Structure 1
Amino acid sequence: MRPTHNSYLLFLFLIGFTLLSGCEDKIESSLSGTLTGRILDQENLMPLEEIRVSTNPYSEIVETDSMGRFTINDIKTGEYNVIASKSGYKSESVTVTVFFNETTDVELVLTESVDSSEELVFTDSFLPAAGESVSGLELLFAWGIEGADSVSFDLLLFQSGNDLSPIVFEDIKDTTYLVQGLKYNTNYLWQIVGYHNSREYYSSVRRFNTSSFPNNQILFAGYDKEILQLFVCDSLAENTSQITFSKHHSWNAKINDQRTAIAFQSTRDVETGLYAMDTDGGNIRRLTDFHVGGYFHEKIEYDWAPDGTHIIFSSYENLYSINKDGTGLRVVTRAPAGYHFREVVYSPDGENIYAIVLSSDVLDRKIYQMDENGDNMSLLYEDSGYALANLDVSPDLRSLLFSKDLSGHVSTTGRMLNAHVFELNIGNGTEVDLSVHKPAGTNDLNASYSPDGGSIVFTNGRNTLSSVPNIYVMQIDGKKRKTLIHGGYTPQWFE
C-alpha cells in the first residue's frame, strides 16, 4: 500500500523543523512527548542491541542499547508508525500515539530471517550525501539496499517552506533516479520507500541543498528534446546550466540587474505570453493577460527597468509598464500616429527609453528616444528602405546596437536576408557596421553589450526561416568573431 496523502502532509509538517538544525537532529516542539521501547528476539525473548529504530512521520533514528531499549525524546505529539529493522531480521512495525508530556512505551519482537531475500535493508550508500550542496537543477539520486529481490521504490522529495504534499516519483525499479527541475538556493529533504513482499520499508530522511543561481554571464534559449528551454553559461561557455525543464517552449529571457527575477516568453498557456519567475525557478507568474502584438512582430519586445521593479513592453501602438508581480499595468506612452512600437530598451541609468517603431510598410522603421516616463519623444535614427531590429544601450550610455537588413528585402513574415549589426553614436548620429566579417547568406541579430562594454554577444544563422542560429561573441570593433554556443537564441549578457 502506498503512503496516504494525509501521512505525506503530516510528514512534511514535521520535517520542516529539521531544516533548522539538520535532518539527523530530532524535532523540538513544546507539544511533545517521549517514545520509549524494547526490541526482543522472537526465539528466546532476549533483548536485541543495535536495532535501527525509526518513525514515520520522521522524528529521529536511534539504535537499541545492550538491553534492547531505545528512547526518542521530545517527539512531536501525534500518530506514528515505529519501525525496527536490522540485517538478518525481518523488519517489524507498530502504530502508536504520542501524547503531550507523556511517555509512550512499545515492544517489538523480531524474527530472524531465514532467507535474506525476504528482507529489505537500506545501506548507507545514498547520493546526494547528507547535507551536501549540489549545483545545477537536475540531480541523480542513488540509494543502496541488501537482502531483497523484486523491489520497487518511491522517491519522496520535500521542499523547505512548501506546505504541500511532497513530489512523489513512483514505481522506480532501479536504485537510481534522475530528477529535473529543482530550484536554486533551496533546502530539500528526501526519503525512499521500498515495497517488497507486500510490505513497506522506509529509509532514513536525508537533507541536501542546491547552490545559489550560478555566477554565469550569458542567459539564452536552446533546444532540449525539441523543447526550447532556458540556460545560463559563463562567457567562455565552459560551464552551462539548464534552468527550465518545462513541457512548453520558453525563450527571449532577460534577468533583472538585481538577479532576483527572470522574465521570459512562453507558450505555457497556449497563447504566447510574457512571464516572470524568481531565479530559483519558482513563483512563475504570467505578466500579460491579453494578446500582445504589432506589425511584423516575431516575439514580445520588453525590457527590465534598471531598478528591477517593473517591465516595459510594447503591443501595437502602446508602450506598457507592469510591475514584476503582474500588477500595476499602465500605458506609458503611445507611438506616433500610424506606427506601432517594436523593440524597447531602457538606458542603464534608467533615465531614457529607446524604441523602434514601424508602420504597415515593412521597411518604414525608426528609432526614437524618450524620457523614462515616455515624455519628450524625439526621432533619433532612420534609414529609409532598410528593416531595423533589436536594440541595446552601451554601459557608458553613448551608443546603441541594432541590426539592419542591408538587402532591403520586403517580407511580411519578418524574414531578413543580410542583417548586419550596427553601432550608433547617440550624440552625433554616426554609425559603424560591425558585421563586415559576417559570412554571406547569414544574419547577425540579437546583439547586446557585455557588462564592461568591451565585447558583444549576438546570434548568427543562415537566412532561411528554418535555420537554427548559433551564439557568437566579437570584439567591440567587430573583429575576432567566434562561436560560443551551437544552437542558441536570444542571448543576454549580464553581470
Structure 2
Amino acid sequence: MSPELPATAPLGRYQASYFMFSTTMNRHPASSCAWALLWALCLLLSACEENTVEPARYGSLSGIVRDSRTNAPLPNVVITTNPATSSFTTDNEGRFTLPNLTVAQYTLSLRKTDYKSETLNVNVAEGPVTSVEIRMEKSTANQRPNAPNQPAPANGASSQATSLTLRWHGTDPDKGDSLRYDVVLYEGSSTGRQQLLSNSRDTTVAVSGLKYNTSYFWQVTVRDHAGETARSDVWTFQTSTFPELRYLFSRLLNGNTDIYATDGVANGILLRLTNSAFTETSPQLCPTRDRIAYTSNATGQYQIYTMNRDGSAAQVITTIPVEGYYNNGLAYHWSPDGSQLIYARYDKLYRINRDGTGLTLLATAPAGRHFRELDWSMLANKIVVQTIGANAYDAEIYQLNPDGTGLTQVVANLPGRLDSPSFSVDGRQILYTRDLAGIDDPTGRQLNAHILVQRPDGTGLQDLSLNKPAGTNDINPRFSPSGAKIIFVNVANDNITPPEVWVMDAVDGNNRVRLLQNAASPDWR
C-alpha cells in the first residue's frame, strides 16, 4: 500500500524519488533490485559538493632597533609577536630576523631594561623580506648637562705662561651621569683650531708651545651618556710678553743645526727659534735689539737672514752668498748702530743695509787670501777681520776703516790656527784664538787653542786660557755687553765631543762657568 500525501503538498527531490521508487516497486516487483541500486547511486551523486583547499604562505621579517635620541643600535631587545611565534633578541648591532612567518599582520612587542616598551603592527608579505626600523625611548627622560664653568686661567687673564694647564668644572642634573669633554683652542684671529681633548673624562688639559704676547680663545663641550651636549662660554687669556733672552746660540740636534735663545738660567727659558731641514747658524742680535741675524743654506748657499726675536717673520737679505775658505756662513757682523751688516765672500768684503738694499763693496783681501771672521767697533771706529789662505792654519788678522780703507795687519801668520778676532767694548783690545800646539794640520784640527787678548798695536798680549782643561780648545770668544766677562766655546780636541758654551772673567780668565751644553756660535747682548 502506497503512502498517502496531501494533495497540496509539493514533492521534494528525495520525496519524488521515493515516490517513483515506491510506485515502481509496487507495479514491478521483479525490477525492485535494479531500482534500489539506481536510487542509492542517485543519492550518492547528489550528496557530493565541491570544496577548495589553499596551501599555506610564508614570509620573513627583519629589522634594527635604535635609541631614539642617539640613533645608536640597541642590543638585547626582547621581541615577541602576536600571533605568537618564538621570542627573539636583537644582536650586538641591534638587528633581528624572524624567518618563516605565516603571511599575516603581526603585532611586535619590544622590551629592554631602562627603555619604554614599544608595539608595532607589521604586515608580513609572501616573498621578499619585510624590513622595519624601530626606535625606543629611555624610560626616564634625560636632562642636558650644565654648561662647563669656572675656567682657569680665569676668563680675560693676562701674562700667562706659554706652557700651562687649562681647567674647568662640569656638572649634570642627573645624579651619577657620566660626562665627557671636548676642548678646542684658537690662536688670536686665526680661524684654525687646535683640538686639545676629544671625548675625555678629564677636566684639565696641558698645553705648550704657545706664542708670547698672543691672545688665545678656548671652549669646552660636555656630553652625557645619552649624547646630550652643552657648550661653555668662549673663554680667553693672553700670554706674557716676550722675555729678555740675552743669549743666542746654535745647536746640532738629530743631524740638524738650528738657532736657540735662552736666559742663561739653569732650568730657565730655552726657545728654539728656527726649525727646518737646513742649517741655520751664527746668530747675532741686532744692537737695536729688534731683529736677529743668522745664516742659512736653505738656498743651497749660505745667505744672511733676519727674523724677529721670537723667530717669526724671517727674511733673506742677501743675494750674493757668504762663502770662501772655511767660511760656512760665519763671516758677517752687524754695524754698531744696527742699520747695516758687513760680510765676506771670498776675497771681497761687502756692506749691505738691513733690508737688503745698498750692497756696497768695501775692500779686497790681499792676493790669494779670503776674508773670514770679523767685527765692527763703534768706539774704535774700526773693522777687524781675519784673512785666510787655502789652508786653515794660514791666517792673519787685519783692521780697516768702516769705508774699507786703511787695511793694516794686526797679527801676523803664526804657527797653528788663528781665528775669531773681535773687539773689546771700548775698542781698545782685540780678542782672538790661537792653537799654541803650533801644528799646521791640513784638516784644520786644533790641539790646544787658547783665547788671547792684545792691543791693536800688538802690545799687552795676555793669555786668558791658562785654566783651560787639557785636551780641549777654547774658541769663538766674545766680550760680554758689560765687558766684564768673555763668552766662548770649549770643546774637546777629538772633533767628536759636542761643544759647550762657557763664560769667564775678562780680566784674567778666572771663574770659568759652563753656561750651555751641546751649543756653539754664542752671542751675548
Q: Give the TM bin, normalised by the shorter chain.
A: 0.5 to 0.7
Q: Which residue of the other structure, out of 172, 177, 181, is the alignment partner of 2:197?
A: 172
Q: Which residue of the other structure, out of 374, 387, 396, is the alignment partner of 1:344?
A: 374
Matched AA of 2:215: Y
Partners in 2 of 1:344 and 1:489 — Cα distance? 17
Residue by residue, what CA displacement relative to the aligned partner does 1:11-69 show, whole Å, maximum 9, x if unpaired?
Answer: xxxxxxxxxxxxxxxxxxxxxxxxxxxxxxxxxxxxxxxxxxxxxxxxxxxxxxxxxxx
Matched with 2:275 is 246
Partners in 1 of 2:319 and 2:210 — Cα distance? 25
Matched with 1:220 is 249
Partners in 1 of 2:503 and 2:351 — Cα distance? 31
Matched with 2:163 is 139
Matching of residue 188 in structure 1 with residue 212 in structure 2: no
The 3 A distance-change label for structure 1 pair 312 and 245 is: closer
Partners in 2 of 1:250 and 1:122 — Cα distance? 45
How far 1:226 moved relative to its partner?
6.6
Decide whether the 8 Å contact of 1:310 with 1:322 is kept in 2. Answer: yes
Matched with 1:67 is none
Q: TM-score, normalised by structure 2?
A: 0.63
Matched AA of 2:515: L
The 3 A distance-change label for structure 1 pair 336 and 139 is: same
How far 1:199 moved relative to its partner?
6.9
Query: Runs of 5+ in structure 1 lacking a partner?
Result: 1-112, 160-164
Decide whether the 8 Å contact of 1:306 with 1:350 is kept in 2. Answer: no
Matched AA of 2:513: K
The 3 A distance-change label for structure 1 pair 346 and 167 is: farther
Q: Which residue of the other structure, out of 454, 462, 471, is the alignment partner of 1:432?
A: 462
The residue correspondences of 1:365-444 to structure 2 (distance < 5 A) are 365-444=395-474
The 3 A distance-change label for structure 1 pair 363 and 226 is: closer
Matching of residue 125 in structure 1 with residue 151 in structure 2: yes
Decide whether the 8 Å contact of 1:317 with 1:334 is kept in 2. Answer: yes
Partners in 1 of 2:392 and 2:372 — Cα distance? 12
Aligned residues: 371
Decide whether the 8 Å contact of 1:134 with 1:211 is kept in 2. Answer: no
Matching of residue 287 in structure 1 with residue 317 in structure 2: yes
The 3 A distance-change label for structure 1 pair 206 and 230 is: same
Q: TM-score, normalised by structure 1?
A: 0.67
Matching of residue 328 in structure 1 with residue 328 in structure 2: no
Matched AA of 2:248: L
Decide whether the 8 Å contact of 1:189 with 1:206 is kept in 2. Answer: yes
Partners in 2 of 1:410 and 1:287 — Cα distance? 36
Matched AA of 1:140: L
Matched with 1:310 is 340
How far 1:449 moved relative to its partner?
0.8
Matched AA of 2:163: L
The residue correspondences of 1:251-270 to structure 2 (distance < 5 A) are 251-266=281-296
Matched with 2:523 is 492
Matching of residue 479 in structure 1 with residue 510 in structure 2: yes
More strand by share: 1
Decide whether the 8 Å contact of 2:479 with 2:485 is kept in 1. Answer: yes
How far 1:413 moved relative to its partner?
4.5
Residue by residue, what CA displacement relative to the aligned partner does 1:282-313 show, whole Å, maximum 9, x if unpaired?
Answer: 22112234543111224422111111111111
How far 1:141 moved relative to its partner?
4.8
How far 1:338 moved relative to its partner?
1.2
For the pair shown, the structure with the greater C-alpha radius of gyration is 2
The residue correspondences of 1:291-302 to structure 2 (distance < 5 A) are 291-302=321-332
Partners in 2 of 1:227 and 1:115 — Cα distance? 56
Matched AA of 2:247: I
The residue correspondences of 1:47-66 to structure 2 (distance < 5 A) are none
Partners in 1 of 2:273 and 2:158 — Cα distance? 22
Residue by residue, what CA displacement relative to the aligned partner does 1:215-263 show, whole Å, maximum 9, x if unpaired?
Answer: x433223466775444444466573331526244543211112211111
Decide whether the 8 Å contact of 2:282 with 2:521 is kept in 1. Answer: yes
Query: Runs of 5+ in structure 2 lacking a partner?
Result: 1-139, 172-177
The residue correspondences of 1:24-39 to structure 2 (distance < 5 A) are none
Runs of 4+ in structure 1 over 6 Å off: none
How far 1:383 moved relative to its partner?
3.3
The 3 A distance-change label for structure 1 pair 299 and 468 is: farther
Partners in 1 of 2:209 and 2:168 — Cα distance? 21
How far 1:361 moved relative to its partner?
3.1
Decide whether the 8 Å contact of 2:261 with 2:273 is kept in 1. Answer: no
Matched with 2:26 is none
Partners in 2 of 1:336 and 1:489 — Cα distance? 30
Give RMSD over aligned pairs: 3.0
The 3 A distance-change label for structure 1 pair 387 and 115 is: farther
